[in-house]
Structure 1
Amino acid sequence: SLPVGTVVEERDLPAYVAGLVITNDVSAREVQLTKTQFYESKSYPTFTPTGPYLALLEPEDFTHLLDLRLKLSVNGELRQDRT
């Protein structure tokens, strides 16, 4: 077990992380901007789509984590491109 707040050193990540999955944190801006709390704007069906793949990692894969990119296109228009 790993208590909340524990700092895991980079060299120890393979002992605690089994894999990666992509999610998309979706918000309904028209709801979020009119409320003081974001919870409702992130709680609609289909929000925060996940997957469809889980990539299991080998210890040597951890040296490449900072090379990963996430790109998001909407109707062919690039909206997000981040590491």
Structure 2
Amino acid sequence: MALDQGDLLAGVRQMRLQAILTSLVMIALAALVLALLTRTLLRRLGLLKDALQNIASGEGDLTQRLDQTGHDELAPGKAGN
């Protein structure tokens, strides 16, 4: 029983193509998740920065409360802890 080298290489090429496509899809998904996380975190940091700049300018409302919702690193800081 002899196997044709072309048939063997076709299988290897198919597996290589599948691995490349899978890798590209995974990279695209990781980039999307990273972009969403970065956007969310930067938006919350921007809100905190704006509130602190308002207070620092001397014209900020010191009775104003910051939104404490969330479970990230910013939530305890907004609570004043």
Pair member with larger Rg: 2
How does the TM-score come out when normalised to structure 1? 0.20
How does the TM-score come out when normalised to structure 2? 0.21
Higher RCO (CA < 8 A, seq sep 6+): 1
The structure richer in strand per residue is 1
